[in-house]
């Protein structure tokens, strides 16, 4: 009890408070002796397993919904987050493409420049990873937002819209170009405004025009620079339209890129290329389609008339010639204004008006390139000419006045000025992406634009004089640039060559042509040109040459013929270093040779021996296709000299050309000989028969000598194949004539003396040739026959080792059956006495083979006594082993042969 | 015996017995022989079913026979040079000859020389018309084959030199033969060349459809009337058959098993210079430099008949028999005029005796309907047709409105 009491007192002890003493702290007093800091939870803790998120754990839906947030930073963050999400999880892009594009496009017109920038970046990212065909369904939406931004009242948004356009032009040019109508107007409105009132009513009638250049003082760049940025995009856009149109037409690329395509290839249809050997041994058939060769296509290339408007609804913008013309009539005056302003602004600064600041220069360059593109916009090839005529009639005066006034433009660089404007320029250069135009580029482009104006007037027979006057400085400039010897870049050279081409075609004067071509030739003769440039120049000339038929002034050009004459030398000097270039050269040579160009043929003749040299001539160094061209060139050679023929035969035998090619070489030479029955034309009898035949035989002997050096089995097979081909070539027209036989015999006796050992294949070939060539009336001489008989024998013994070789056997049989005396000689030379034991079975086998052959049987019978002697000898010398298989075989054959015809004696006499 | 449907016309370069012979296609019996001179390669042609023309080998004139008078030369057309190839248009209105590197075009009715086309760079080897006479194709030793539209060539326009419609320039050695298929301007053209290829082109667009590379140079080419097969005569005497459409495999599988190497007709021993297929596509005629012509059964690829000649065969063709050929009393519908040697006879002082009007197409009129009289007829026909079409259309419209508006 007392314990309990005490405890109670402990619990409720009274705390005494006294005045003047600090109050003791309560037990439950809060310690406020700490400092706080805010914690931001940027990431959610929740983790959604099915949707991938950014590092902030936001999934794509959150991000997209954040784009509707009022705050600019949130939106920007969302755009950045989207980009991050898509880089981490590219699969998200496929699923959400439509919502992504629509949301991103919606912020093109956002007030905050940072948001717009991020949106552009996001768009670029998407565009990089999504191909055009998958974007195409969303493209109307994108372009609607784009044009909304382009026409926005705020200048900043307008400027950023151009960046969006850049992205689209980079990645989806074809989609943009598909509906050009709306965008073109937007471009116009960016640099000008439509003046309402009198102008509109007059419409497009020449000078009373409805659009005027505008200047917006609010922009943070000068009017000129703004125009430059807009024109740059317009240029690129038009380029895209032109390219898309070209892709549509397909065929047009031939004339579009002048010098790239040489022999009219690249049509819409792919022809079917077949090889007879494949054709014969392939199981399935092939199919040629009615209008398209290898691949089926529903479109026939046969057109009754040009189709009118392929898709009426879509291509309102530039689909027809009239539409292009309408657009041009609005744009060209504006461009002229831009030009005038650009040139005028400089003139105040300097007294020499042809010197330009870089800005003005690039602006002018853009103007010219857009003009050039406008010309190419004509929807069909037929409208091109009418468009050109219209351009000429409408604007030639203006162009002459403005463009030609200070024609060779130069660069204005005074160091003082540059220093002063330096900081400013560095700021501006951020707005204008990499535009520094050299004066050369400007001048060259100007030439091209102006020269394109001249085209058709000449054909219609108008007066030349006014044109010649303003063409003078242009021509002077072109000539000077080309012949100065300076290296030109690929693009400039291409433009210049096109200009020269146009001038040559239109100017139809020989002196002008000569001068221009001479200037190009200076370029051509430069030493270290790279391959592309060289090819460009080469194809310029070869195209020019191929065009010459209706331009006599080109055909008679001395420069051109000098160029042609130099080609064979170049080819031989080039060797194997550059097969592509050699092929180009060969194409031109072949074209000229087939046209019988004197200069070329003479030069070809002088260099023929080098070209066809068996060691380092082009014919053995180049790839197979070029080799074939070279071989075909032989047909056109004016004279076949003995040296050349010797080279050729060594080419054939050296084994560095394929067997097929060697055969076709022989065939071509055969065609040129008088034995072929094909008249070569004016160059008849330039190959003497003697030369031809000596060529054939030197090929024959050489070929086999070479092959007997490496008598592996496979090589033998190829040699035989070649033999067959050569042989067929030989026997074409070479029908039996004694003159030829004499030749053969001479050759044979020659080879007889020259060769101690005759290779097997050659022997067989000789036998075949003799069998085919020999006339019954011709009596072969004794030594020849002896030689042949030896060949025959050795071949027959060879035959026993190579079992299946029917060609050798055929040759032997043919020659033996055609010359009975030869058979007799063979049999006579079978002297059993001189043979050793091991050779007897061989002999017996040969004999039984001969006996078995029906064609020979009669001849064998004629020599029955001889045969009988041999068999008797045989049985005598191998009496011990008469039970051997070969002996019984022989006896059986012999008895059968004899029995069928006479049915008497035979075996009984022997025993 | 009834008159034969199809005949073989052949000529060789020796011309010992006759210039050209007419044989019955199926029996091979010799029906007729035209005498005098000999004919050069690819220059034997039948004009309008009434005359036979053949260029003399190595001379500068063309022999002309009336088709029913085999013994007598009707005329010799003297030309400015040696004629290398010759053909007449299937409608019998124009005659085209290749003389050196130029093509000469005559109008048969007047004998006027309408055009000289010198667009080839070397001698011509072959000329062929399309079956509707609207185009002709020329091949030369400059590796080119040119397609000419006849209408544009005959235009009377001094300032404008005629240009070929297409230039077929993919051969790399001289063209040896050309064959033009049926179907007028939509035909397909086969060209053979020494570069060992045969190429098939589309006439309308000038595009190449097929190129077959052989082991030997090809001297002659032809297509059967259905254009199922391409026959190519090689310079080694083989005739190669290329099937242009794959047969349905299910139907004739048994025949396909042994098709290895059986697409060659073997028999000739030298250049096959001419090929021709009969109208029903069962027989192939070939002429060769081994002095024979052979007739082949296409299905079995066997030589049915071989006929010897005295020299290398220059021409062999199968043609439908002209009506006049076997009627000795018949006369040609129009007498053949004197062919002029110069482009403008009036300037040369010749041809003034004819009081006729020279009717030539103006440069810009369309040549679709031929001459003026025909045009009127044709226009009225077309108007008639338009009227009937309108009527049919209206009937259809009435009928369908009735059907639609009828309360169901």
Average pLDDT of each block of 10 consecutive residues along chain A (911 residues)?
A: 65 81 84 87 65 76 85 89 87 83 86 89 89 84 87 85 87 80 78 57 45 71 78 84 71 42 47 74 66 65 50 48 76 80 61 65 80 74 72 76 71 45 40 55 77 58 57 78 74 80 74 78 75 80 74 73 84 82 86 84 86 81 85 84 82 75 81 70 61 71 44 38 45 37 46 46 63 59 72 73 65 75 77 70 77 74 79 73 70 77 50 46
Measured between beta carbons, the chain A residues lying within 8 angstroms of B160 are none
Nearest residue of B to residue A274, measured between CA atoms: B212
Residues B83-120 as b or e (16 or more Cβ within 10 Å = b): bbbbbbbeebbbbbbbbbbbbbbbbbebbbbbbebebb
Nearest to B204 among A264, A302, A635 (CB): A302
Measured between beta carbons, the chain A residues lying within 8 angstroms of B121 are 594-596
Probe site for chain B from A295, A594, A670 (most B CB atoms < 10 A): A594
Range list of β-strands (E), B151-234: 166-168, 175-180, 188-193, 197-202, 208-213, 218-223, 229-234
The minimum CA-CA distance between A683 and chain B, rounded to whole Å, is 11
- pLDDT for res B220: 93
Average pLDDT over residues B117-141: 90
Measured between beta carbons, the chain A residues lying within 8 angstroms of B271 are 676-678, 732
Contact A279 B172 (CB under 8 A): no
Cβ of B267: how many Cβ atoms within 10 Å?
19
Kindly state whether A285 is in contact with chain B, defined as any CB-CB distance less than 8 angstroms: yes
Calculate the CA B104 to chain-centre distance. Answer: 16
- pLDDT for res A765: 63
Measured between beta carbons, the chain B residues lying within 8 angstroms of A664 are 196
CB contacts under 8 A, A 437-496 vs B, are: none
Residues A658-691 as b or e (16 or more Cβ within 10 Å = b): ebbbbbbbbbbbbbbbebbbbbbbebeeebeeeb
Within 8 A by CB and 6+ apart from A466, the residues are: none
Kindly state whether A590 is in contact with chain B, defined as any CB-CB distance less than 8 angstroms: yes
Kindly state whether A297 is in contact with chain B, defined as any CB-CB distance less than 8 angstroms: no
Q: How far apart are CA B52 and CA A1, in angstroms?
A: 160
Nearest to A677 among B169, B170, B271 (CB): B271
Probe site for chain A from B58, B85, B99, B122 (most A CB atoms < 10 A): B122
- pLDDT for res A13: 77
- pLDDT for res A864: 77
Kindly state whether A633 is in contact with chain B, defined as any CB-CB distance less than 8 angstroms: no
Contact B209 A274 (CB under 8 A): no
- pLDDT for res A510: 72
- pLDDT for res B392: 93
Beta-strand relationship, B197-202 and B208-213: antiparallel
At residue B121 the predicted structure's pLDDT band, cuts being 50, 70 and 90, is confident
Between A869 and B358, the more confident residue is A869
Measured between beta carbons, the chain B residues lying within 8 angstroms of A721 are none
Measured between beta carbons, the chain A residues lying within 8 angstroms of B247 are 285
Q: How far apart are CA A536 and CA A529, in angstroms?
A: 11
Kindly state whether A547 is in contact with chain B, defined as any CB-CB distance less than 8 angstroms: no
Contact B216 A667 (CB under 8 A): yes
**Three-state secondary-structure class, residue B296:** strand
Q: How far apart are CA A473 and CA A481, in angstroms?
A: 12
Is B210:B232 a contact under the CB 8 Å cutoff?
no
Nearest to A677 among B210, B213, B312 (CB): B312
Q: Which of A96, A105, A115 is nearest to A143 (CA)?
A: A105
- pLDDT for res B408: 65
Nearest to B142 among A274, A286, A595 (CB): A595
Q: How far apart are CA B134 and CA B28, in angstroms?
A: 34
Cβ of B369: how many Cβ atoms within 10 Å?
15
The minimum CA-CA distance between B3 and chain A, rounded to whole Å, is 37
**Whether the predicted pLDDT of B257 surpasses 70:** no
- pLDDT for res B8: 92
Classify residue B53 by its DSSP letter.
E
Nearest residue of A to residue B234, measured between CA atoms: A732
- pTM equals 0.67
ipTM over 0.95: no
The minimum CA-CA distance between A262 and chain B, rounded to whole Å, is 11
Measuring CA to CA, how many Å separate B13 from each of A217, B37, B66, B221, B309?
92, 9, 21, 20, 9
The minimum CA-CA distance between B93 and chain A, rounded to whole Å, is 25
Beta-strand relationship, B239-243 and B264-265: antiparallel
- pLDDT for res A547: 72
Probe site for chain A from B100, B135, B167, B213 (most A CB atoms < 10 A): B213
Cβ of A37: how many Cβ atoms within 10 Å?
4
Measured between beta carbons, the chain A residues lying within 8 angstroms of B174 are 635
Average pLDDT over residues B237-263: 60
- pLDDT for res A750: 45
At residue B247 the predicted structure's pLDDT band, cuts being 50, 70 and 90, is low
- pLDDT for res A381: 61
Task: Output the furthest CA–CA distance in chain A (Å, rounded).
Answer: 172
Nearest to A271 among B121, B169, B211 (CB): B211
Measured between beta carbons, the chain B residues lying within 8 angstroms of A551 are none
Nearest residue of B to residue A296, measured between CA atoms: B209
């Amino acid at each position: 009890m007392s314990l309990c009491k005490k405890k109670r007192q402990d619990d409720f002890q009274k705390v005494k408070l006294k005045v003047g003493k600090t109050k003791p702290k309560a037990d439950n007093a809060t310690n406020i002796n700490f400092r706080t800091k805010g914690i931001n939870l940027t990431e959610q803790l929740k983790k959604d397993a099915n949707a991938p998120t950014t590092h902030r754990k936001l999934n794509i839906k959150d991000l997209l919904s954040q784009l509707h947030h009022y705050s600019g930073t949130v939106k920007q963050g969302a755009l950045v987050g989207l980009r991050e999400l898509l880089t981490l999880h590219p699969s998200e892009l496929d699923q959400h493409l439509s919502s992504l594009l629509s949301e991103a496009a919606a912020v093109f017109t956002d007030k905050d420049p940072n948001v717009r920038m991020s949106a552009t970046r996001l768009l670029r990212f998407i565009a990089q990873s999504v191909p055009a065909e998958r974007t195409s369904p969303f493209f109307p939406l994108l372009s609607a937002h784009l044009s909304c931004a382009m026409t926005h009242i705020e200048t900043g948004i307008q400027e950023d819209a151009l960046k969006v356009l850049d992205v689209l032009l980079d990645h989806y040019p074809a989609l943009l170009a598909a509906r050009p109508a709306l965008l073109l107007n937007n471009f116009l409105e960016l640099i000008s405004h439509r003046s309402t009132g009198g102008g509109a009513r007059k419409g497009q009638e020449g000078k009373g025009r409805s659009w005027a250049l505008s200047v917006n003082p609010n922009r943070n760049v000068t009017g000129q620079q703004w125009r430059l940025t807009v024109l740059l995009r317009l240029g690129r856009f038009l380029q895209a339209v032109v390219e898309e149109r070209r892709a549509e037409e397909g065929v047009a690329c031939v004339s579009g890129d002048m010098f790239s395509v040489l022999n009219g290839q690249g049509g819409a249809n792919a022809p079917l290329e077949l090889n007879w050997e494949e054709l014969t041994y392939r199981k399935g058939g092939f199919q040629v389609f009615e209008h398209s060769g290898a691949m089926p296509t529903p479109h026939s290339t046969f057109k009754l008339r040009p189709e009118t408007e392929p898709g009426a609804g879509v291509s309102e913008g530039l689909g027809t010639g009239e539409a292009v013309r309408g657009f041009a009539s609005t744009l060209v005056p504006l461009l002229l204004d831009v030009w005038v302003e650009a040139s005028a602004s400089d003139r105040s600064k300097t007294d020499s008006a042809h010197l330009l600041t870089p800005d003005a220069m690039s602006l002018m360059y853009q103007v010219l390139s857009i003009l050039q593109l406008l010309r190419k916009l004509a929807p069909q090839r037929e409208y091109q000419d009418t468009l050109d005529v219209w351009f000429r009639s409408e604007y030639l005066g203006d162009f002459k006045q403005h463009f030609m006034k200070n024609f060779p433009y130069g660069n204005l660089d005074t160091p003082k000025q540059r220093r002063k404007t330096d900081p400013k320029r560095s700021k501006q250069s951020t707005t204008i992406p990499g535009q520094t135009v050299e004066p050369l580029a400007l001048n060259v482009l100007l030439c091209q634009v102006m020269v394109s104006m001249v085209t058709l007037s000449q054909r219609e027979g108008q007066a030349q004089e006014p044109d010649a006057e303003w063409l003078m400085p242009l021509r002077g400039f072109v000539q000077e640039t080309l012949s100065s010897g300076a290296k030109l870049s690929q693009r400039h050279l291409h433009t210049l060559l096109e200009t020269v081409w146009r001038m040559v075609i239109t100017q139809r004067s020989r002196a002008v042509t000569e001068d221009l071509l001479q200037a190009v030739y200076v370029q051509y003769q430069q030493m270290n040109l790279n391959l592309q440039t060289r090819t460009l120049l080469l194809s310029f000339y070869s195209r020019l040459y191929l065009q010459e038929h209706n331009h006599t002034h080109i055909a008679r050009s001395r420069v051109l013929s000098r160029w042609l004459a130099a080609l064979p030398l170049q080819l031989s000097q080039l060797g194997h270093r550059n097969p592509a270039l050699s092929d180009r050269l060969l194409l031109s040579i072949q074209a000229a040779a087939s046209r019988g160009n004197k200069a070329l043929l003479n030069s070809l003749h002088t260099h023929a021996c080098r070209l066809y040299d068996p060691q380092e001539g082009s014919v053995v160094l180049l790839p197979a296709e070029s080799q074939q061209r070279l071989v075909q060139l032989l047909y056109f050679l004016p004279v076949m000299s003995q040296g050349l023929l010797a080279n050729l035969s060594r080419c054939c035998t050296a084994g560095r050309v394929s067997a097929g090619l060697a055969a076709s070489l022989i065939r071509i030479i055969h065609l040129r000989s008088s034995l072929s029955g094909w008249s070569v034309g004016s160059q008849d009898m330039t190959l003497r028969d003697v030369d031809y035949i000596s060529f054939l035989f030197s090929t024959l002997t050489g070929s086999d000598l070479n092959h007997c050096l490496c008598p592996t089995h496979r090589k033998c097979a190829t040699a035989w194949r070649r033999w067959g081909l050569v042989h067929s070539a030989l026997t074409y027209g070479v029908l039996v004539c004694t003159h030829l036989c004499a030749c053969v015999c001479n050759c044979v006796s020659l080879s007889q003396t020259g060769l101690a050992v005759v290779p097997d294949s050659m022997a067989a070939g000789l036998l075949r040739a003799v069998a085919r060539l020999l006339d019954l009336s011709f009596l072969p001489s004794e030594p020849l026959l002896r030689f042949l008989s030896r060949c025959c024998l050795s071949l027959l013994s060879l035959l026993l080792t190579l079992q299946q070789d029917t060609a050798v056997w055929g040759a032997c049989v043919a020659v033996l059956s055609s010359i009975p005396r030869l058979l007799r000689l063979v049999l006579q030379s079978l002297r059993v006495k001189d043979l050793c034991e091991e050779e007897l079975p061989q002999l017996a086998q040969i004999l039984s083979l001969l006996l078995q052959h029906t064609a020979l049987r009669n001849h064998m019978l004629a020599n029955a006594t001889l045969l009988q002697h041999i068999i008797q000898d045989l049985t005598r010398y191998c009496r011990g082993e008469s039970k051997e298989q070969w002996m019984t075989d022989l006896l059986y054959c012999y008895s059968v042969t004899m029995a069928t015809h006479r049915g008497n004696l035979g075996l009984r006499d022997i025993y | 015996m009834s008159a034969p449907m199809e005949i073989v016309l052949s000529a060789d370069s020796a011309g010992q017995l006759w210039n050209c012979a007419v044989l019955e296609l199926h029996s091979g019996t010799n029906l007729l022989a035209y005498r005098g001179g000999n004919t050069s390669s690819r220059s034997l042609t039948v004009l309008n079913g009434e005359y036979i023309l053949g260029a003399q080998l190595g001379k500068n004139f063309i022999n002309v026979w009336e088709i029913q008078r085999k013994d007598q030369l009707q005329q010799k057309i003297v030309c400015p040079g040696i004629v290398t190839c010759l053909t007449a248009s299937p409608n019998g209105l124009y005659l085209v000859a290749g003389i050196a590197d130029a093509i000469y075009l005559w109008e048969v009715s007047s004998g006027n020389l309408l055009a000289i086309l010198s667009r080839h760079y070397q001698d011509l080897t072959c000329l062929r018309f399309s079956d509707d006479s609207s185009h002709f194709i020329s091949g030369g030793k400059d590796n080119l084959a040119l397609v000419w539209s006849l209408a544009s060539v005959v235009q009377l326009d001094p300032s404008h030199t005629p240009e070929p419609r297409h230039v077929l320039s993919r051969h790399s050695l001289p063209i040896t033969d050309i064959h033009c298929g049926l179907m007028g301007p939509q035909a397909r053209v086969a060209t053979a060349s020494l570069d060992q290829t045969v190429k098939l082109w589309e006439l309308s667009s000038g595009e190449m459809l097929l190129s077959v590379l052989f082991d030997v140079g090809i001297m002659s080419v032809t297509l059967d009337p259905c254009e199922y097969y391409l026959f190519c005569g090689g310079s080694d005497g083989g005739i190669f058959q290329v099937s242009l459409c794959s047969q349905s495999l299910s139907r004739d599988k048994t025949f396909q098993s042994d098709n290895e190497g059986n697409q060659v007709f073997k028999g000739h021993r030298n250049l096959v210079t001419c090929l021709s297929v009969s109208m029903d596509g069962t027989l192939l005629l070939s002429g060769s430099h081994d002095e024979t012509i052979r007739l082949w059964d296409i299905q079995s690829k066997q030589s049915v008949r071989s006929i010897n000649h005295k020299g290398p065969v220059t021409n062999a063709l199968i043609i439908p028999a002209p009506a006049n050929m076997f009627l000795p009393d018949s006369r040609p519908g129009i007498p053949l005029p004197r062919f002029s040697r110069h482009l403008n006879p009036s300037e040369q002082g010749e041809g003034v005796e004819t009081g006729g009007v020279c009717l030539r197409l103006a440069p810009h009129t369309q040549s679709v309907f031929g001459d003026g009289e025909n045009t009127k007829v044709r226009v009225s026909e077309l108007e008639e047709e338009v009227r009937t079409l309108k009527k049919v259309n209206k009937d259809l419209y009435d009928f369908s409105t009735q059907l639609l508006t009828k309360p169901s």
